[in-house]
Amino acid sequence: MLCVGGIGDRTPSCGSEDTPDPMADENVDWLEDTVGRSSVGRVSQRSGKEHVVDSPPPKRTKSMEYYVERISESMIQRTMNERNLISREEEEVTEMLHLVEQDGVPNGSELYFIATELFRSPARRASYRSITASENRIAWLRWTWDNVKRK
């Protein structure tokens, strides 16, 4: 073992406080065990696990139950939205039929039933609502029904 000191320092021939004496009994045994051995074919003394430092953790795949739950929630939400839409349409048709009655068309008459059929369409409900005079709305019901029947 070679010890190197600073400029002007003596190189100790024996061990110092920091460096063990290479010829001490225990060091001689170690030296005899390791001299002449090469690292070729030696088994590593490290643990068998290899650790990759920079790789991200593996992504976990979600379970089938997770996806079934998401689909189920989506279907429930869609059903609720459709029910709300249907409910709003029903309210709008009811409101329009009240307007037809206010225009002088009796409930249960042929013109009243024509209105219920025409009001299935959101565009026709909007058209009826946009007409300001009641007699023009009644004329519109008859005219639209006649034109629908021709097609």
Q: pLDDT tens per residue, the chain (151 residues)?
A: 555 555 655 555 555 555 555 555 555 555 555 555 555 555 556 666 666 667 777 778 888 899 999 999 999 999 999 998 888 899 999 999 999 999 999 999 999 999 999 999 999 999 999 999 999 999 999 999 999 888 6
Give a yes or no: residue 125 inside a domain: yes
Number of structural domains in the chain: 1
72 domain-assigned: no
Rounded distance between C-alpha atoms, residue 30 and residue 23, angstroms = 10
Range of the domain at 99: 90-150
Q: Residue 105 burial (CB < 10 Å; 0-12/13-18/19+)?
A: buried
Identity of residue 3:
C
